Structure 1
Amino acid sequence: MDIQKHKPVEDDAWHALKQFTAARIALGRTGHAVPLKELLKFKLAHAHARDAVYARLHVKELTQELQQFNLPVYSLHSKVKDRNEYLLHPDIGRQLNDASVQLLQSRSASFDIVVVLADGLSATAINHHAVPLLQQLIPLLQEAKFSIAITTAQQARVAVGDTIGSLMNAKLSLVLIGERPGLSAADSMGAYLTYNPTVGLTDESRNCISNIRPEGIDYAKAATKIHYLISSSFRLQYSGVTLKDDEQDFLAE
């Protein structure tokens, strides 16, 4: 009986470029198929992405960790009742539930900046990266004499920061949110800042820094860029597409 010989993996012509990216390139071939090792890696990455989408925000643990900053911390929730509703109805995730609205209306203080930790599409990202980023960022903001409050927001979308900022009379909202997981990163965190947050604003009113994680934009670099954008936003009194990233000029001053 003829036994087919094992076919070795044939390297892709782009194999040398793999060192520069986590993207799924140059997987190689075994005959007409993707190598088994790469197929299993794909299935694992897909499983991590699904897990991230359905992960829960660790509110209790985050709240305890946030105490190190000696800042007001509020735990909030959108109008979303469960994860399926969150995924099917994005508009509901942009609105706070009644209890959260009442909580914010009951307080009297106002702040320059409200930082919102929102689960988004990857609570894993916030659970892992939000506090380490804030450890770099908050000292920079405090040195600049900004008053700051922090909230967590479960089942939330980016625009929930407009509602929170408006209710807290904040001059600027900074939303740290879990980004849509991909097959090379299930824990990527984004930062969205909005000057004069008001219900009804759209994305052109915001500035975004994406892919915050050790393998992407690291905490120190992200904190420096966020600090720059916030400082510029307060100086110019606007954010969004008209706020340009001239960070090198800022650092040279």
Structure 2
Amino acid sequence: MDKYLLQTTGEYVKESASWAWLKYFTDARIALGRTGCSLLTKDYLDFSMAHAKAKDAIQTPFDREGLSLRLQELGLESLCVESAAHDRTTFLARPDLGRHLDEASQARLTEMNYPGTDILIVIGDGLSSKAVHKQAIPLIRQFLPYLKELKLHIGPIVLASQCRVALGDDIAERMHCKLVVMMIGERPGLSSPDSLGVYITYQPYWGRLESERNCISNIRPEGLSYERAAFKLAWLIDAAFYQQVTGTQLKDLSEDPAQHQRISPINHADFI
């Protein structure tokens, strides 16, 4: 059965009912209208706006001071480090430099002589500081009760600028931490410029392979909720310490209640 939709251009466009139904469940650009061989003006403008938001997400400066103040409200200390990519242009052109600390940060962490802890959380701007600004604190707020339940201790939250995922290994190795959680802005999509990714690495050290991490992605209200992401993160951490491994050898079974050992979702209603 077909129906006709009134576009903002004033045109009526025939659309399959099955496509219209599917559009309620995805932000993907499906069932776009057309006039001749071209997109409708509204669809073209929507695409242009999404592209602009993605570019803004990449170029927005990392507000570490604001994050530090919000972490203080949660009773968490923080410290700042920088990668070897000292500006945004270099960061985008040289991913390798974003995986290493600069010399000043190396010296600062060495001078700290931090004794180590169970878990180190690193918050990095990555490719979308907007994602970090919006999603990191709500996620940490949901995660802290699980951390208390697991009786695991965290060190100061490290705020890393011009940061790639592997920078967490460099930081955690110098701070002698058993497991690192990297919260980082994901590459902006044209429907998700503010998506947060989380990477978990057991026994981190410089040179860890990407296959030796677990990843939780698309954390945002329109994607994976803070509640689900926090439990998934806690479950993976608990399993990582039990199995002493992360990555391809650690399978995410957090959605299976039979696999819930020391912890279970705090609010079961969020998982129904």
SS in 2 for 1:214: coil
Q: TM-score, normalised by structure 1?
A: 0.94
- Structure-2 residue corresponding to 1:120: 126
- Structure-1 residue corresponding to 2:172: 165
SS in 1 for 2:201: strand
Distance 2:28 2:66 in 1: 32
Q: Aligned-pair RMSD on alpha carbons?
A: 1.5
* Structure 1 residues 94-243: aligned runs within 5 Å: 94-107=99-112, 108-149=114-155, 150-243=157-250
Matched, 1:75 2:80: yes
Deviation of 1:7 (Å): 5.0
Structure 2, unmatched stretches of 5+, are: 1-9, 263-272
Comparing 223-232 and 7-16, the one that deviates more: 7-16
- Structure-1 residue corresponding to 2:266: none
Name the aligned partner's letter for residue 130 of structure 1: A
Distance 1:15 1:31 in 2: 21
SS in 1 for 2:13: coil
Distance 2:88 2:96 in 1: 13
Identity over aligned pairs, percent: 44
Q: Check conservation: 2:60, 2:129, Cα contact below 8 A.
A: yes
Q: Check conservation: 2:218, 2:224, Cα contact below 8 A.
A: yes
Q: TM-score, normalised by structure 2?
A: 0.87
Q: Check conservation: 2:169, 2:205, Cα contact below 8 A.
A: yes
Aligned length: 248
Counterparts in 2 of 1:16 and 1:30: CA distance versus 1, 3 Å? farther
Distance 2:101 2:168 in 1: 10
* CA displacement, residues 185-232 of structure 1 (integer Å, 9 cap, x when unaligned): 100110000000010011000000010000000100000000000000
Q: Check conservation: 1:10, 1:30, Cα contact below 8 A.
A: no
Name the aligned partner's letter for residue 177 of structure 1: I
Structure 1, unmatched stretches of 5+, are: 1-5
* CA displacement, residues 52-85 of structure 1 (integer Å, 9 cap, x when unaligned): 1111111000000011232331111101121111
- Structure-1 residue corresponding to 2:265: none
Name the aligned partner's letter for residue 78 of structure 2: V
SS in 1 for 2:260: helix
Deviation of 1:127 (Å): 0.6
